[in-house]
A and B are shown apart, each in its own frame.
Chain A
Amino acid sequence: MTDFTTGAGVPRNTTSTELVAASLKRRRRKQSRLQWIGLGAISVAFLMLFILVSSLISTGWQAFTQTHVTLEVYVDPEEIPVDRLPRGGFDDALAASLGKMVPGVDMSDRKTARAVESILSNGAQFSLRDMVVADPDLIGQTITMKVPVSDPYDQLNKGLIERETPEENRRVKNNEIAWFDALVAQGAISKPFNLALFKNADSRFPEQAGLKGALVGSFWALLTCFLIAFPLGIGSAIYLEEFAPKNKLSDFIEVNINNLAAVPSVVFGLLALAVFIGWFGLPRSAPFVGGLTLALMTMPTIIIATRAALKAVPPSIREAALGLGASRQQVVFQHVLPLAMPGVLTGTIIGLAQALGETAPLLLIGMNAFITSAASSPFDSATALPTQIFIWADSPERGFVSRTSAAILVLLGFLVIMNAIAIYLRQKFERKW
């Protein structure tokens, strides 16, 4: 009887307080181990994120500036007669003024003249043309213009083309470097913020290519997506959660909606190609069709998020309202839905953020076309941000490498903003019950 409890290594006269203290030590060890593992996991995740973002920034930051050259252009009435506008030798006018700034070149030699002219972006002549057409009084005057240089010289200025490379492997030859250095010496070269990245649509020339077409296309597509997926998604979720009889059919629908959320997006693209473009004859490459496709993908996300938010509203609130004689519709719209709104909005924005980054279905419906102007309606052809990234990533010109990274940064920026809005809305509307 006396040594009945000895054994198992526990001293006989141990009090329960001491037992608790011993187990406490063990529990603390377990907890600290768990904390370290969690901390490690977070660190690895952060490291990955850091590597991703820093590699994007290191290649992409150069695209946010663009080398420009400042020119004194004489708008020669001989070359640009007022009665032939908008035609005229705008390129020759630019070349002539550039020729005066570059020492030791013979501009009467066509080959040299063309080489000098290629310092300027191909789009420079169009800027000049637009200025002159807008104000024909400029003919005969000398105007100061700041025009972008072409991609090779931009690369040279940003140090992406190295002077140490042997001449035969270099896109910019020694004499051309000398011309450029002369321009630099005259203070004609500047490197301002690359407004064209946001003001221009796509172009074959990297120095003129911008994201406006893609931004506008994504805007129209997301607007269409939101206007369709939000009401339909919330409506279906409310019906399924609050009104539908619980039977085999509603179970079947529920399983299918959950499956729909997991269907690869390329399948939605094929579906849209067959149905929207094939049967309904909607235009190819149109953001409206893109929006419809993205709505198909976003709707399950919204339905699932809304149902979860509706379910999370405590049943006591419903009982309280029902007990006062509120109808089911009043209970849903006056009590349950307002309380579920933060969850609904968060789910919607996360769904839209997914849609913004979605590429595959847009490729299938032709939103990767080469389009040099921004869409003015959802039915015009357009690209979207992710498809624009896809196009640029596929382009051989060096200038598109940094522009691809820059476009990805812009896309990530929008995603961060959308998620920040989701968090803000959640905190603003969150209430306790």
Chain B
Amino acid sequence: MNDMRQFERDVKMTNTKITARSVNVHYGDTHAIKDVDVDIADKTVTAFIGPSGCGKSTFLRCLNRMNDTIDICRVTGLINLDGKDINHKSVDPVQLRAQVGMVFQKPNPFPKSIYDNIAYGPRIHGLARSKADLDVIVEKSLRRGAIWEEVKDRLDQPGTGLSGGQQQRLCIARAVATEPEVLLMDEPCSALDPIATAQVEELIDELRQEYSVVIVTHSMQQAARVSQKTAFFHLGHLVEFNDTDQIFTNPQDSRTESYITGKIG
């Protein structure tokens, strides 16, 4: 099973993982995403930047159909994952979300123990055959989330008892514990100190070896540091999408230029 996946991945090495074509999102009467086309490559970190309220989170949530849970939200257009339409009737959003993990903008640990927070995903997906397996997954995930050292002695204490930044790292660890193929991260570092941020960035870089990572960030430096591709959103439009160094050194659109130089935002 695992080998099969590995094999598939090798074949699609440089392939695009996600293709989006003329995606539009409406919240009731609000037109939040306007005709967005984007290709997200496998084994790459893609950064979404743009001023607050421009629709970064909304677009990110389209990629694992989290917008399904909002009654007034309507998504149109085509989004393919590995060439398959994720909005097709035959696709189970539950399976899709196991494949496309997400770290939310606000940390949202379960009011359960730290251990159970991490173990929940592997448990429901049957990723661990034994308690020992699960222990290994929990430790590995917490290490990847750069929080193992802080919590290893209190795994049975509630995840909600951690500080905001620790909670966010717990959520990152929880998301990677299910081994998703794509990881969507909505401002994962906005509550973290520089050291934890550096650790998370290291993790993102490590994840890139196997997965595709999409990260929303308000920090230009972070986008420049961790991503290979950058998409600039403005008022619901995807204004510019290019290699990260291109965006930061030679932006094609005047709006991109004003944003990265701090004139709009």
A interface residues with partner B (beta carbon < 8 Å): 246, 314, 316-327, 330, 334-335, 339, 431-433
Contacts and interface: CB of A to CB of B under 8 A. Distances in A.
Given A317-B108, A318-B69, A319-B66, A325 B175 contact: no
B104 interface: yes
Nearest to B117: A320
Interface in B27-79: 64, 66, 69, 71
Interface in B115-129: 120-121, 124-125
A317 B110 CA distance: 6
A316 B124 CA distance: 19
A323 B111 contact: no
Nearest to B92: A327
B98 A325 contact: yes
Contact of A320 (B71, B94, B95, B171): B171
B139 to A, nearest CB: 18
A320 B178 contact: no
A324 B120 contact: yes
Contact of B97 (A316, A318, A323, A431): A323
A319 B64 CA distance: 12
Contacts of A325: 94-98, 121, 124-125, 178
Contact of B104 (A319, A326, A330): A319
B86 interface: no
A330 B175 CA distance: 17
Contacts of B174: 320, 324
A317 B124 contact: no
A278 B120 CA distance: 53
Contact of A322 (B69, B71, B125): B69
A309 to B, nearest CB: 15
Contact of B111 (A319, A322, A330, A433): A433
B111 A324 contact: no
Given A316-B104, A317-B110, A327-B94, A322 B124 contact: no
Contacts of A321: 110, 120
B160 interface: yes
B231 interface: no
Contacts of A335: 110
A327 B68 CA distance: 13
A314 B108 CA distance: 10
Contact of A324 (B95, B158, B178): B178
Contacts of B98: 324-325
Interface string B204-226: 00000000000000000000000
Contacts of B71: 246
Contacts of B104: 316, 319-320, 323
B109 interface: yes
A187 B69 CA distance: 80
A72 B160 CA distance: 73
9 contacts: A246-B71, A316-B106, A318-B69, A323-B102, A324-B98, A324-B101, A324-B121, A325-B94, A325-B96
Contacts of B175: 323-324
B101 A320 contact: no
A364 to B, nearest CB: 43
Contacts of A432: 111, 160
Interface string B82-108: 000000000000111110011010101
Contacts of A326: 94, 120, 124
A323 B109 CA distance: 12
A321 B175 CA distance: 10
B124 A320 contact: no
Contacts of B111: 317, 339, 431-433
Interface string B161-202: 000000000010011001000000000000000000000000
Contacts of B108: 314, 316-317, 319-320
Contacts of B97: 322-325
A325 to B, nearest CB: 3
A431 B160 CA distance: 10
Contacts of B158: 431
Contacts of A322: 66, 69, 97
A319 B110 contact: no
A320 B116 CA distance: 13
B148 to A, nearest CB: 20
Contacts of B178: 324-325
Contacts of B69: 318-319, 322
Nearest to B120: A324
Contacts of A316: 104, 106, 108
Contacts of B171: 320
B77 to A, nearest CB: 22
Contacts of A317: 108, 110-111
Nearest to A314: B108
Contacts of A330: 124
Nearest to B99: A325
B92 to A, nearest CB: 9
Nearest to B161: A432
Contact of B101 (A323, A334, A339, A431): A323
Contacts of A320: 104, 108-110, 171, 174
Residue of A318, A320, A334, A432 contacting most chain B CB atoms (<10 Å): A320
A28 B178 CA distance: 55
A318 B97 CA distance: 13
A339 to B, nearest CB: 7
Interface string B110-150: 11000000001100110000000000000000000000000
A242 to B, nearest CB: 11
A318 B121 CA distance: 14
A322 to B, nearest CB: 6
A318 B108 CA distance: 9
Nearest to B96: A325
B168 to A, nearest CB: 12
A323 to B, nearest CB: 4
Contacts of A327: 94
Contacts of B95: 325
Given A319-B104, A322-B69, A323-B102, 8 more contacts: A314-B108, A317-B108, A320-B108, A324-B97, A324-B101, A324-B175, A325-B98, A326-B120
